[in-house]
A and B are shown apart, each in its own frame.
Chain A
């Protein structure tokens, strides 16, 4: 049995070695090896091969390359520009005008893409030029893109949910269903904060252009179809029980390939570019995942989950105190850790703690994804901040950071709402899957 001091030392080492810039996957592997040799003896660590094969030869995780490929096809299919224009037809009359299109387009793209950075890069390259020569507050423009793009991991499908589901044996289908309402709610909160800001200070967004003729706007509605069809196919096939989440991803790949072909965008070169990114991103994620599964395995043999669980019950902390502590912890961690690495690296320790307190695993999965969204826009290591700043190519990154602040508060508000009304996340999975 392990004492908790040992576990705490291990955790500090984990964070410390990562901070020194060693590969995240190696650090998780090294901590597992240290713990294994120290507490279980050398032979236990020889299990690494079997664990590695078992972790990567996993049908739940097969959804990862499929969704990365799906997203790549969409990015290269050129649907985003048209989708953006069509959405702006309808969202422009709101106070805040084109800003809402940033959020709406992100939410729509997010619904079919599993990654937030891809969403930020895609929406950013379309949106930033659209604001040229218009009188919008640049900070709010940048903030709405960087924050809107984080919807990518909350609105299903989501790579973060797939990994969380695989590591904790939680149903990915349930996690997807649980992400829908919080995702829509957060979209609404983002739009509400824009409306309030522009109502309070109209100079933030002026010069709303006259809407295009109704006929044109109606005709352009067809540009919203590709993401809509994809979302319906992917989520519908899961909901109807036709396909598992992984199988639905395969259907999604075929659909998006078909759509790209319809738009005349498919070529061998384009396919190869998609393949290279897909394989490289998958390899990056899977190396960390393999190390994390090994860490999970070693910690399990060492009895860490039980030790943590009994620690949590002896401490007598309420669920609320635990969530408040974790929120502060993840906010700090998210400032310097990659969002996905943060989730994967902390699950082996945090998951047994929260389940021991009786927190619902599906609810906690959604909570973790919102914390990962926050990590994507908290400086200094918020990926989305850099992506948006890089596309803009002028001014200071401080503009982007200040611009995301109102949205950051909305995310925290969502966490509070999720806590007070857990059914925001749990109602849909309950009615869909019983």
Chain B
């Protein structure tokens, strides 16, 4: 991957994704304790289901940026690859621009949800009465980052289109099944090598 924007975005988005992963793990711990506690000791945390919902909403938008950088958002490539290189450049650019518009609209409408929660001081309908602006703030930050990143990609694609650059289809074409598999196999090979090293020790 030598897309200049992804080189900047990918490491940052990767770190954010790892932080989100810890969120998922923490959620599993809390929910598991809740189940065991409820069944065996008759105590329960309040509002784990609400917390789970917040975690999902936040990781979904924060992760969207990483998935974008890895070209992981689902596209149908079977017809696209049958177009000429020129048309592929145009369609790939359209895909990036429309995605940016989608993300921007989502960020705009999302921030409105946040503003309303602040204005009406909305709280979750659980015993904890979590103020809704707290999870929604993180959610809107995630949406905004996703919109900014998508916007940068769209502008870059447009610039490459203006120059008829051959890089455009490489950077902004859909990741093929082959790409995904290669990544998976490389990771497996690494793990196997590590396991062997471990065995030698």
Give the residues in chain A near B49, CB-CB below 8 Å: 59, 62, 246
A341 near B74 (CB under 8 angstroms)?
A: yes
Give the residues in chain B near A53, CB-CB below 8 Å: 57, 110, 113, 136, 139
**Interface membership of B43, Cβ < 8 A:** no
Interface of B, helix, strand, loop or mixed by DSSP: helix
B28 near A279 (CB under 8 angstroms)?
A: no
Which chain B residues in 45-69 approach chain A with CB under 8 Å?
Answer: 49-50, 52-57, 59-64, 66-67
Give the residues in chain B near A276, CB-CB below 8 Å: 14, 17-18, 21, 66
Given contacts A21-B77, A121-B184, A279-B59, contact A26 B72 (CB under 8 A): no
A121 to B22, CA, bound (A): 25
Given contacts A25-B73, A381-B76, A390-B185, contact A275 B17 (CB under 8 A): yes
**Interface membership of A216, Cβ < 8 A:** no
Contact residue range for chain A? 35 or more
Count the B residues whose beta carbon is within 8 Å of the partner chain — how many?
71
B139 near A287 (CB under 8 angstroms)?
A: no
Can you list, as one digit per residue, whether each of A324-352 has a CB less than 8 Å from chain B (1) or not (0)?
00000000000011101100000000000
A56 to B31, CA, bound (A): 18
Give the residues in chain B near A386, CB-CB below 8 Å: 177-178, 181
Give the residues in chain B near A287, CB-CB below 8 Å: 60, 64, 67, 73
Give the residues in chain A near B119, CB-CB below 8 Å: none
A29 to B32, CA, bound (A): 36
A381 near B28 (CB under 8 angstroms)?
A: no
Listed stretches B1-9, B92-100, B159-167; interface member: B92-100
**Interface membership of B109, Cβ < 8 A:** yes
Which chain A residues in 345-375 approach chain B with CB under 8 Å?
Answer: none
A275 to B66, CA, bound (A): 12
B74 near A23 (CB under 8 angstroms)?
A: yes
A210 to B24, CA, bound (A): 46
Give the residues in chain A near B78, CB-CB below 8 Å: 19, 336, 380-381
A284 to B73, CA, bound (A): 5
Report which of A30, A254, A288 forms a contact with B32, defined as CB distance below 8 A: A254
A50 to B110, CA, bound (A): 7
Give the residues in chain A near B188, CB-CB below 8 Å: 121, 125
**Interface membership of B128, Cβ < 8 A:** no
Report which of B24, B29, B39, B99 forms a contact with A242, defined as CB distance below 8 A: B39
Can you list, as one digit per residue, whether each of B10-25 has a CB less than 8 Å from chain A (1) or not (0)?
0000100110111011
Given contacts A23-B98, A274-B21, A275-B17, contact A242 B73 (CB under 8 A): no
Given contacts A52-B110, A59-B52, A275-B22, contact A21 B79 (CB under 8 A): yes
Give the residues in chain A near B187, CB-CB below 8 Å: 273
Give the residues in chain B near A337, CB-CB below 8 Å: 76
**Interface membership of A137, Cβ < 8 A:** no
Chain A to chain B contacts (Cβ below 8 Å), 10 pairs: A19-B79, A23-B98, A46-B109, A53-B136, A121-B188, A251-B35, A280-B63, A287-B60, A336-B78, A341-B74
Query: What 20 new A-B contacts, CB under 8 Å, besides A21-B95, A286-B63?
Result: A21-B79, A22-B95, A23-B95, A26-B98, A49-B111, A53-B136, A76-B191, A237-B35, A243-B35, A246-B52, A250-B28, A250-B35, A270-B191, A275-B22, A275-B24, A276-B17, A286-B64, A290-B60, A338-B76, A390-B178
